[in-house]
């Protein structure tokens, strides 16, 4: 929840004003809710009225919803959507790594793309990651680095408390700028892709809902505090990535921390994407496709694909925004609410049905708005 997106939250407040603070809280509540209803779709009641986990993945849920149309249609759509978003996330980390290295060592005569290749070399051990436990340890280190970054930024902001002013907040905002803020805030909470795997690997899955409540609550508090202190410090001068506002003596330190965070963040989406693809390919009785060597080949191919796309696709940030508007909104709002309505319709109360329908409509509007803004940006770039 405390990913690189968090560094854009002060900029989101610049364009959304007081409504941005409300959005940070609302997004936490909505994402927590869709996470719960997605996991609810994994379970069905048995003859004794007890909940039993009858599905394991997002794909299984989709297949159960679409079995009348086609037994595998839902799973194919979900898998393609998941893999697209995960690959785009991996590529973004490579692009960010190259950018951070070039800014950290401006006097070294190396291009940004070459820096991305150097970052890629450090990620080659990802080919040998076989379990979620290793990814979990890397994610813990990633969280530690992230809190160091947040601590540095907030400590500096607190030293500037004498110049804070609530007058910096806007009451009126431009609609298009507001939509950009909505995208940044909502997608800083997204985690639905990982939730079925996470819940299935918990020692006590019964604590999942409680865990989700507390993590979203603390994420909301941290995001609000961080965004607020940073925006009050720089006001109208707040930049897209807040670390760019720091004085030069702190920027290099924070950039290197961000680089470490980006590299440590890469294994989670990479592992999830390769596991989905490998499971799809090796399904059935094709023993050749279940060998360790073949799995290594799949992971190696994915690594190379992310590097090639990071280096050769122009205007990747805009394409990322376009893809995120489609896949992010679908995986976070549209599909969880749709699947929950489909599988649990007879057991849902009227208020629960209204909540699911409202989330679906909101997700659809966010997706359309994001697509329009991204396409407009691409058209402007290409003249």
Buried b (16+ CB within 10 A) or exposed e, 293-327: ebbeebbeebbeebbebbbeeeebebbbbbbbbbb
Query: Alpha carbon of 158 to those of 210, 231, 313, 377, 382: distances in Å?
Result: 33, 12, 40, 36, 42
Which residues neighbour 62 within 8 Å (Cβ) at sequence distance 6 or greater?
Answer: 74, 75, 77, 78, 335, 339
User: For the domain that residue 217 is a member of, what is the CATH number?
Assistant: 1.20.1740.10
Q: How large is the greatest C-alpha to C-alpha distance in the chain, in angstroms?
A: 70
The pLDDT value given to residue 18: 85
The pLDDT value given to residue 218: 92
The pLDDT value given to residue 1: 58
Tell me the residue range of the domain where 58 lies: 4-285+294-382
Residues in the chain where the model's pLDDT stays below 50? none
The pLDDT value given to residue 318: 63
pLDDT tens sequence across 112-170: 889 889 999 999 998 888 887 888 888 889 888 988 888 899 999 999 998 888 877 77
CA angle 323, 328, 329 (to 5 degrees): 110
**In sequence order, what are the beta bridge partners of 44?**
52
- Phi then psi for residue 44, to 5 deg, are -135, 155
With beta carbons less than 8 A apart as the criterion, state whether 242 and 8 touch. yes
The pLDDT value given to residue 253: 87
**Cα 157 from Cα 3, distance rounded (Å):** 20
The pLDDT value given to residue 287: 53
For the purposes of burial, counting CB atoms within 10 Å of the CB of 289, is it exposed (0-12), middle (13-18) or buried (19 or more)? middle
**Cα 110 from Cα 115, distance rounded (Å):** 7
Q: What share of the chain is helix, strand, coil (3-state, %, to 5)?
A: 80, 0, 20
Query: Alpha carbon of 171 to those of 17, 301, 306: distances in Å?
Result: 6, 50, 42
Closest among 50, 51, 77, 47 to 62, alpha carbons compared:
77
Number of domains in the chain: 1
pLDDT tens sequence across 61-111: 999 998 887 878 888 888 888 888 888 888 888 888 888 888 788 888 888
């Amino acid at each position: 929840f405390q990913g690189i997106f968090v560094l854009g939250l002060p900029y989101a407040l610049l364009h959304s004003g007081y409504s941005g603070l409300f959005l940070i809280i609302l997004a936490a509540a909505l994402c927590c809710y869709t996470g719960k209803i997605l996991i609810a779709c994994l379970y069905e009641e048995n003859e004794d009225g007890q909940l039993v986990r009858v599905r394991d993945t997002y794909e299984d849920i989709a297949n159960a919803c679409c079995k009348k149309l086609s037994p595998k249609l839902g799973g194919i759509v979900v898998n393609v959507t998941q893999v697209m978003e995960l690959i785009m996330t991996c590529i973004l980390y490579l692009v960010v790594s190259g950018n951070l290295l070039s800014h950290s060592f401006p006097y070294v005569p190396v291009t940004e793309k070459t820096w991305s290749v150097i970052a890629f070399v450090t990620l080659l051990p990802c080919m040998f990651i076989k379990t979620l436990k290793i990814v979990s340890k890397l994610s813990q280190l990633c969280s530690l680095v992230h809190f160091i970054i947040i601590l540095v930024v907030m400590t500096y902001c607190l030293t500037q408390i004498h110049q804070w002013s609530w007058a910096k907040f806007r009451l009126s905002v431009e609609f298009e700028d507001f939509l950009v803020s909505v995208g940044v805030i909502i997608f800083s909470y997204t985690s639905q892709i990982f939730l079925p795997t996470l819940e299935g690997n918990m020692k006590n899955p019964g604590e999942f809902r409680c865990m989700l409540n507390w993590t979203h609550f603390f994420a909301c508090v941290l995001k609000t505090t961080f965004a607020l202190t940073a925006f009050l410090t720089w006001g109208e001068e707040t930049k897209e990535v807040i670390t760019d506002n720091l004085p030069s003596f702190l920027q290099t330190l924070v950039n290197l921390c961000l680089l470490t965070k980006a590299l440590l963040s890469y294994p989670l989406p990479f592992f999830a994407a390769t596991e989905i693809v490998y499971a799809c390919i090796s399904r059935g009785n094709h023993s050749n496709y279940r060998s360790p060597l073949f799995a290594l080949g799949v992971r190696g191919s994915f690594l190379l694909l992310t590097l090639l796309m990071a280096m050769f696709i122009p205007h990747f940030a805009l394409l990322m925004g376009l893809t995120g508007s489609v896949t992010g909104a679908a995986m976070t709002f549209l599909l969880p609410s749709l699947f929950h309505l489909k599988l649990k319709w007879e057991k849902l109360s009227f208020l629960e049905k209204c909540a699911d329908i409202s989330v679906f409509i909101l997700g659809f509007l966010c997706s359309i708005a994001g697509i329009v803004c991204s396409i407009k940006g691409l058209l402007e770039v290409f003249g």
